[in-house]
Copies of this chain bind each other. A is one copy, B any other.
Amino acid sequence: MQATSHSLSISIDFDTIRAAHERIRAYIHRTPVMTSSRLDEASGASLFFKCENFQKIGAFKARGATNAVLALDGTTARRGVATHSSGNHGTAVARAAKLRGIPAHLVMPSNSAKVKIRAVESYGAHVVFCEPTEKAREEKCAEVIEKTGATLLHSFQNENVMAGQGTAAMELLEDVPDLDLVMCPVGGGGLLSGTAVAAKSMQPKIKVIAAEPENVDDAAQSFRAGKRIVTKKKFTIADGLRTNVGEPNFAIIQRYVDDIVTVSEEAIISAMRTIWETIKIIVEPSAAVPYAAIQEGKINISGKRVGIILTGGNVDLDALPWSCSRDR
């Protein structure tokens, strides 16, 4: 993969995040910040939820992908873009490519959910199927790039993607400037690196804490060890967070992030349900991970003003984690 070979040279600063916001603002939603007196009471703090579940394509990934596609020069753009993602990043790249009128090649595992394939195809993207392994995805993607000349848009090891993701925290702090703490989940670290740079640049005393499912706690392990640790993929219901943290992302995380806490699967499901029932909004499991850390008492936020990025709202309503249970 192109991005990995010189990935340590990838970095961002607040200027690149501001430039990203200028570039994408006409093509994304400025999502609202919601509050809940009941959740404030339950947590003993003031919580500010940045609703990226209302974002275009239903997730913050629209920010990074749009920035990366719009930042390409004309000649490069015309050759198209490619990525391997069966999740929100794939849909976001497909949408951004359609906006710019360029081809998008999406490498997706052959066992992808039909609804995800349809979402990508609805934006006119070219879907290329591969075996459902990491290796097969990367090889197939390299093959497509070789054949078409398309540019790889990695879902987190990419400066423009990272900078784009940082615009969510930037908007949050513009709307609620006096936060003590900002929280987001961590998977590959695209959102977390962008969030940390934006938050610490705008408000140097702010704390940035990420939350991660304990089943896939490579980022927390890496953070404690002071070096990047790669773990085997395990199951978590927070499917957006199964990936290992990227090298350039971890470099930024080490420098700017104050802590990474882990949460159980049960806590994620419980937090997701609490958000649905209390705020009356749909969030996906990954989005509930930071609030799970609060609800599980993993961090002390008593009396604090806490911004939480609700990352997305794409869920399969036929397969909810509490479906078919009538025994509460």
Contacts and interface: CB of A to CB of B under 8 A. Distances in A.
A324 interface: yes
Contact of A281 (B282, B318, B323): B282
A273 interface: yes
A313 B279 CA distance: 9
Nearest to A284: B280
Contacts of A324: 323-324
Contact of A326 (B277, B318, B322): B318
Contact of A319 (B53, B279, B282, B326): B326
Contact of A54 (B54, B58, B277, B280): B280
A50 B3 CA distance: 45
Contact of A276 (B34, B277, B282): B282
**Chain A interface secondary structure, helix, strand, loop or mixed?**
loop
A322 B277 CA distance: 17
Nearest to A326: B318
A42 interface: no
Given A281-B281, A324-B324, A317 B273 contact: yes
Given A32-B32, A58-B280, A276-B282, A317 B326 contact: no
Contacts of A280: 53-54, 58, 281-283, 313
A276 B320 CA distance: 13
Contacts of A325: 318
A328 interface: yes
Nearest to A278: B58
Given A53-B280, A282-B282, A320 B317 contact: yes
Nearest to A280: B313
Interface string A124-136: 0000000000000
Nearest to A277: B317
A322 B315 CA distance: 14
Nearest to A325: B318
A283 B318 CA distance: 17
Contacts of A313: 280
Given A282-B282, A320-B323, 5 more contacts: A34-B54, A54-B279, A280-B281, A280-B313, A320-B320
Task: Sort A-B residue pairs by CB-CB distance and give the 5 closest, nearest first.
Answer: A280-B313, A280-B282, A324-B324, A53-B280, A281-B281
